């Protein structure tokens, strides 16, 4: 192959490479949300947005590509001094968007660094006029002031600041401990107040419940007592009417006393028990029913008739049944009758000489009398209308 031919081939290859390179530099495809700054011969020529664009090879060149989307930049914590001379660390987050790619490219060398430094200085100015309490509770106010200052300063850079947020405000460790203690004390105080309120309400409700319960219990007891009294009244009335209709005699009463004797004596802890005078009178009534006078003793041999025998004889003469047609007598009248009969019997005994010239005695502590003396007769046990009462002893 001749040298001229070889040189021609080399020239053609170089020409093809040059054409391909020129075409590659002349045709540019710009993606969405991206802007390209084009310079022609070193000067700003145009801004290319999304789409297909052609450049003049070796005359036009792309200076920079700018992202038109909203960007988020987080800055490291910055120490800031509050008005009460406390150093707090604050880290911020900036949300911004490039609105003018040309200004963002030619007005500032690095708009990210410019925004960061502007944020730090503005933050120190804002926080320096607040104390720690206001700093911790005024996040929205701080965010609004920062956004206003940054938006005004970055407007000529072709940047719009949308939001400024404080991620964290960290006071010193000693201040954090004091704040925790204060918070704990406040919560303890609130808990104590709530507990006291609960105890107060509980005691009030308990007192009201006890009051209502006591009232209802008292009303129930009153109704129960009234009903019980009414029932006892009706029972006594019925028993009283039954006694009057049945015309009870001293023998029946004496029998009832005998039935109650085992119940009186029944008691394991009873060391002594007292027999009532009514029970003694009942025993005297039983003895009189069998024809024996427990006080006067057997009839005397001189054939004298006692007051009891005379009363029984008179009752027998009036009616075959000495207890028929008898009615309950008032206790006071029966006692007066018994005392009168006892005085009459004593007079008869003195006349007959049974007392042996000694004063009349109703008995001694042992129940024995001197020889030749006889007890005064007792009336009221076997006579119609008798109450069964024994005349009281002297000194009783």
Residue 285, pLDDT score: 59
10-residue stretch averages of pLDDT, the chain, 396 residues long: 80 86 84 91 90 86 90 89 87 91 90 89 88 85 87 88 87 81 90 93 93 92 91 84 72 69 64 56 58 48 49 51 46 66 65 46 41 43 41 42
Residue 296 CA to chain centroid, in angstroms? 78
Measured distance CA(312)–CA(323) in Å, rounded: 10
Measured distance CA(263)–CA(309) in Å, rounded: 34
Residue 243, pLDDT score: 73
Residue 211, pLDDT score: 93
From 56, 29, 26, select the one nearest 41 (Cα to Cα). Answer: 56
Measured distance CA(219)–CA(213) in Å, rounded: 10
- Cα 50–56–61 angle (5° rounding)? 65
From 268, 270, 239, select the one nearest 256 (Cα to Cα). Answer: 239
CATH class of residue range 71-171: alpha beta
Measured distance CA(168)–CA(76) in Å, rounded: 11
Residue 203, pLDDT score: 93
Tokens at residue 187, please? Answer: 């919560």
Measured distance CA(376)–CA(307) in Å, rounded: 10
Q: Is the pTM of this model over 0.75?
A: no
Segment (H or E) for 125: helix 111-127
Residue 312, pLDDT score: 54
138: three-class secondary structure by DSSP: coil
Tokens at residue 76, please? Answer: 């490291």
Residue 249 CA to chain centroid, in angstroms? 66
Residue with tokens 């007292």: 274
Residue spans of the domains in the chain: they are: 3-67, 71-171, 174-246, 248-396
């Amino acid at each position: 192959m001749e040298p001229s031919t070889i040189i021609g081939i080399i020239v053609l290859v170089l020409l093809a490479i040059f054409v391909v390179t020129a075409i590659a530099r002349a045709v540019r495809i710009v993606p969405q949300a991206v802007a390209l700054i084009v310079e022609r011969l070193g000067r700003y020529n145009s801004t290319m947005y999304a789409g297909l664009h052609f450049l003049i090879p070796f005359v036009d060149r792309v200076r920079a590509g700018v992202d038109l989307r909203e960007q988020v930049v987080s800055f490291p914590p910055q120490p800031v001094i509050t008005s009460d001379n406390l150093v707090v660390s604050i880290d911020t987050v900036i949300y911004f968007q490039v609105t003018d790619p040309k200004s963002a490219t030619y007005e500032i060398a690095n708009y990210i660094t410019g925004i960061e430094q502007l944020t730090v200085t503005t933050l120190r100015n804002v926080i320096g006029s607040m104390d720690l309490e206001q700093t911790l509770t005024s996040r929205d106010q701080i965010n609004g002031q920062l956004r206003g200052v940054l938006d005004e300063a970055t407007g000529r850079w072709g940047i719009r600041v949308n939001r400024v947020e404080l991620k964290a405000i960290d006071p010193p460790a000693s201040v954090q401990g004091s704040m925790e203690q204060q918070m704990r004390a406040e919560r303890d105080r609130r808990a104590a107040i709530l507990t006291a309120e609960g105890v107060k309400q509980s005691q009030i409700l308990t007192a009201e419940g006890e009051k209502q319960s006591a009232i209802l219990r008292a009303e129930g007891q009153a109704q129960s007592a009234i009903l019980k009294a009414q029932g006892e009244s009706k029972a006594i009335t019925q028993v009283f009417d039954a006694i009057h209709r049945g015309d009870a005699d001293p023998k029946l009463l004496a029998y009832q006393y005998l039935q109650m004797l085992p119940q009186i004596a029944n008691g394991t802890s009873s060391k002594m028990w007292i027999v009532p005078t009514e029970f003694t009178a009942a025993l005297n009534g039983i003895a009189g029913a069998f024809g024996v006078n427990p006080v006067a003793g057997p009839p005397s041999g001189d054939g004298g008739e006692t007051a009891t025998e005379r009363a029984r004889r008179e009752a027998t003469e009036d009616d075959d049944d000495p207890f028929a047609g008898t009615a309950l007598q008032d206790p006071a009248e029966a006692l007066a009758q018994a005392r009168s009969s006892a005085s009459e019997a004593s007079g008869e005994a003195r006349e007959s000489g049974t007392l042996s010239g000694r004063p009349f005695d109703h008995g001694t502590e042992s129940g024995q009398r001197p020889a030749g003396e006889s007890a005064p007769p007792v009336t009221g046990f076997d006579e119609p209308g008798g109450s069964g009462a024994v005349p009281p002893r002297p000194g009783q």
